[in-house]
Structure 1
Amino acid sequence: MTRPETIVPEEPISPFPITQESRIISGFGRGSSELGIPTANIPINKELNDLDTGIYYGWCKLLPHSQEEDELFIRQNGKQVKVNHGRTLCKEELTALPMVMSIGWNPFYHNKEKAAEVHIIHKFDTDFYGASVKYNVLGYIRPELNYTTKEALIDDINLDIKIAKEILETKDNYSQFKYKL
């Protein structure tokens, strides 16, 4: 399947906006290490599961859990990860930030479980495993696609990021949701 044109309505239309809060969970660790595009994984709930697989855009806000102690966990691939619950985030990183969200099976990686992965469009200096994220999903960019190369996947993700930034920064009917988190 080739990438279809992204059509953006003047304002979010049903079922959007979808506003939720979730704890960030452990993913596969591929976003940062393999793709250079880190993601925060969140559990698939009924409302997200009911959406078509694909790429979505909106706003999100990280919520640290400052009362919790650091801990370590080991990913399925054996890599050890420090969980700091978002305590090291700076003030700017605690504001509403633009995001793209992938919901689907990640066919390039042959996932056996459906996943929801949020890429926050910001360069973070530190990890925030164990924090929570409040987000609003405002619209749909494209369906989930399979790729023959990792480079093609990365190129499409970067195009998704560019499209989401443009929508969220230039369309008032979308930018206003930044202040509703």
Structure 2
Amino acid sequence: MSEEFELDTADLAKRMDGAISNLRTEFASLRTGRASGSMLEPIMVESYGQMTPINQVGTVNVPEPRMVTINVWDKSMVNKVEKAIRESGLGINPQLNGTIIMLPIPELNEERRRELTKVAGQYAEHARVAVRNVRQDGMQQIKKNKDGMSDDDQKFWESEVQELTDKHIKLIDEHLASKQEEIMQV
């Protein structure tokens, strides 16, 4: 007699939550016309032979709505941090003031806003693909153990996985709509 199959839906949910968490991080790096320290998170600087996040080579502050400052701790790193920001594709022109790098955030024009909404859409699609891959993995686990369960059990587990997937896809769509609205705000 075979053991009753039990799908680890908590593991599937955790993996889907990971895709949404990654999406939030990617959305935080998108510029919306307002200054935010999180927009610098994806930028890495070569520091003492290894790549390091900007927030680990200096203090990131937002002193006013359209300005981000980075107080670089090691004077020899200032030019490397400035170069990393210029090459990041954020479209921000850093200004040096000793060990402080000032990043004035320019107003976004309509074309750039539309471009950023498309980028946000791409990030959301990557998250949807990740969720669907987790769904596919769950469905394969069910198929593998098909012999040891009834048709009703199989349908139950498949509907559980699908319900979990639908919930996470809906969350991704809500985050995308919110981010696109934020980007398009003037």
Give the TM interval when normalised to the shorter protein. under 0.3
Query: What is the TM-score normalised by the length of structure 2?
Result: 0.24
Indicate the structure whose relative CO is greater, using CA pairs within 8 Å and at least 6 residues apart: 1
Q: In proportion to residue count, which structure has more helix? A: 2
Q: Which of the two has greater strand per residue?
A: 1
